[in-house]
Amino acid sequence: MNQVYLDNAATTALRPEVIERMTAVLRDNFGNASSTHSFGRSSKAILEQCRKNIASYFNVSAAEIIFTSGGTEADNLALRSAVRDLGVTDIITSKIEHHAVLHTAEQLEKEYGVNLHYLKLDHCGMVDLDHLKLLLEASDKALVSLMHINNEIGNVLDLSSVADLCATNKALFHTDMVQSVGHFEVDLSKIPIDFFAASAHKFHGPKGVGFCYIRKSSGLKPLIFGGEQERGYRAGTESLHNIAGMDEALKIAYKNLETEKAYISELKHYFISQLKARIPNSSFNGSCVDQTNSTYTLVNVCLPIAPEKAPMLQFQLDLKGIACSKGSACQSGSSQQSHVLTAILDEDALKKPSVRFSFSVFNTREELDYVLDVLEDFVKS
């Protein structure tokens, strides 16, 4: 049986070079980076070099990169600390954010009584910037949290426009960049973002490690207390081998960005064109067929399958060795419809199965042909 992995928005395979780097650190640099002896100093040197390397890709200071266990912790660190420490009275977000943001914002509304606002969305899930402007003008102290790349439908947020609106209205701007770091270049010397979250396993790095960008002099205080690691923002001994693996993965991602982007973009374009030709009544969710307003790494398609047959689609794809998803992997245990699709689709569209296929440099056109054959057979059977 063929094995085809098209769920790269959920997680990605480790690059061989990343495994080699992590193995070397595990073997040769096991000292605690907080220790003052030679073993500790060796680990500390690696840790701080990784921090400098990562900061350089976004044109920020190394001191503004705080290592975390992943994107969820980074989102929580920024949102919870901003409300607790910086006098935030309003959180402005959208109903199609990752649950790491939505559930955190809902909890902050309960704990601190902040006003929680959801931006209007168009039929593709793009945020209404005029609505954002109105909400910002009516707020005393706002925190805006909008993801750069939507993890289910691939929409790309206009970071510069949102950041400028926030700056004009003296609001804080947090963005979840878990799906964009390693896939898009973002120069923070040109875009006034206050906080962003990233996770290594989305760009062929290890799971269990990520980072939070916290703009210098932000006034944030720790979320996890203990030692003085990570500039005091995040106590606990750093996972050096994971951080080194993340550094290696990000280095390769940005070194090969244009070449790999062109390759993956061609795969996505081919997949969409073949879907349209083979299954003409397919429709595409969000802006995922728009090359300007969507990421090149994924497509979310609604297939013309009868409601009684729809529940079998994912099962049949899995039987054929095809890995994809109906939404975020974090919701895979839930029987509920995707909250992202529920926010933008009508009832008729929600009755049909929607599937997210997400691509990487390790995929091939031959794999896509196999997936297309399976989909076509299932739809027409």
- Per-residue pLDDT of 283-326, as tens digits, reads 999 999 998 899 999 999 999 998 889 889 999 999 999 999 98
Task: Write the DSSP symbol of residue 149.
Answer: B
Which residues carry out catalysis? 330
pLDDT at 333: 45
Q: Which of 60, 57, 30 is nearest to 44 (CA)?
A: 30
Half-sphere exposure of 180 (CA within 13 A, CB side): 24
Question: How far apart (Å, rounded) are the C-alpha atoms in residues 206 and 20?
Answer: 12
pLDDT at 331: 47
Domains 4-12+257-380 and 16-255 share a fold: no
Task: State the pTM of this model.
Answer: 0.95
pLDDT digits (tens, 9 = 90+) for 333-379: 445 789 999 999 999 889 899 999 999 999 999 999 999 999 999 99
Tokens of 304: 């013309």
pLDDT at 328: 54
Kindly write down the DSSP assignment for every residue of 47-107, as one continuous string: HHHHHHHHHHTTT--GGGEEEESSHHHHHHHHHHHHHHHS---EEEE-TTS-HHHHHHHHH
Q: What is the topology classification, in CATH, of domain 4-12+257-380?
A: Aspartate Aminotransferase, domain 1 (3.90.1150)
Q: Which of 258, 314, 303 is nearest to 281 (CA)?
A: 303
CATH of domain 16-255: 3.40.640.10
Residue 46 has pLDDT above 50, yes or no: yes
Give domain limits for the chain: 4-12+257-380, 16-255
Name the pLDDT band for 110 (thresholds 50, 70, 90): very high
